Amino acid sequence: MKNLENTDNKNENLNSVALSTTKDKKMNRSNNMVSYILIFIVFIIVVIAGIFIKNNFLKSITDCAIDDEATGYIYSGYVDLGLQFLNTEEYERAMEYFNRALTYKDNDPIVYNNICVIDILTDQCQEAFINCDKAINLDPSVELFRNNRIWAGSACSEGLDDGLQLKIPNN
């Protein structure tokens, strides 16, 4: 009889272990599901926070005032890049950087003179005259500007309209 009781006890123990294992598996599954949901929620929060931080950072950069010294460096950088591209005959890129420089300092005769040179080299006669005249009007004392106006006149002489006659202002 004892053997029968031992067998019954063993069966009960096995059944309780099996039930316990099944419960553990269900608990593990629900714990895993909760963990996945929590990880997903944290991920969403991080993404939203990242977007918020990025947008505020970009807004703060664009809203900040640039002081005169920084503006001067930016302007000089654009002029230098424009000259580099002009020297390597990449006229479109040179024009792009000279125009960027003009957004920081729109009254620089040297930049207008450089644009005039690009206009002459790319056969943009009307623009060459306009930009040479701007350079001369901003600083009539610089002989180079006047010489480039003469160059524009001779380079574009075949295509001159009546309104684009060579007129060089006197000092």
pLDDT in tens, the chain (171 residues): 555 455 555 555 555 555 555 666 666 667 777 777 888 887 788 777 777 666 555 455 444 444 556 667 788 888 988 999 999 999 999 999 999 999 888 899 999 999 999 999 999 989 999 999 999 999 999 999 999 999 988 887 754 444 444 444 444
Cα–Cα distance for residue pair 52/62, rounded to 1 Å: 16
pLDDT recorded at residue 17: 52
Cα–Cα distance for residue pair 71/122, rounded to 1 Å: 30
Domains held by the chain: number: 2
pLDDT recorded at residue 139: 93
Domain of residue 141, CATH code:
1.25.40.10
Cα–Cα distance for residue pair 115/164, rounded to 1 Å: 18
Burial of residue 114, with CB atoms counted within 10 A of its CB: 0-12 exposed, 13-18 middle, 19 or more buried: buried
Q: Which two tokens stand for residue 157?
A: 């002489």
DSSP state of 158: G
> In which domain, by residue range, is 59 found?
1-64
Residues 44 and 74 in one domain: no
Distances (CA, A) of 32 to 19, 36, 81: 20, 6, 58
Helix axes 91-104, 68-87, angle to 10 degrees: 160
Locus of tokens 């598996």: 25
Q: By the 8 A CB rule, do 78 and 98 touch?
A: yes
> Does residue 60 sit within a domain?
yes
Out of 35, 64, 93, a domain closes at 64
DSSP state of 163: G
Out of 40, 64, 88, a domain closes at 64
Locus of tokens 């002009």: 86
Q: Which two tokens stand for residue 60?
A: 């703060």
> Does residue 171 sit within a domain?
no
> Does residue 170 sit within a domain?
no
Query: For the whole model, what pTM was predicted?
Result: 0.54
Cα–Cα distance for residue pair 80/68, rounded to 1 Å: 18
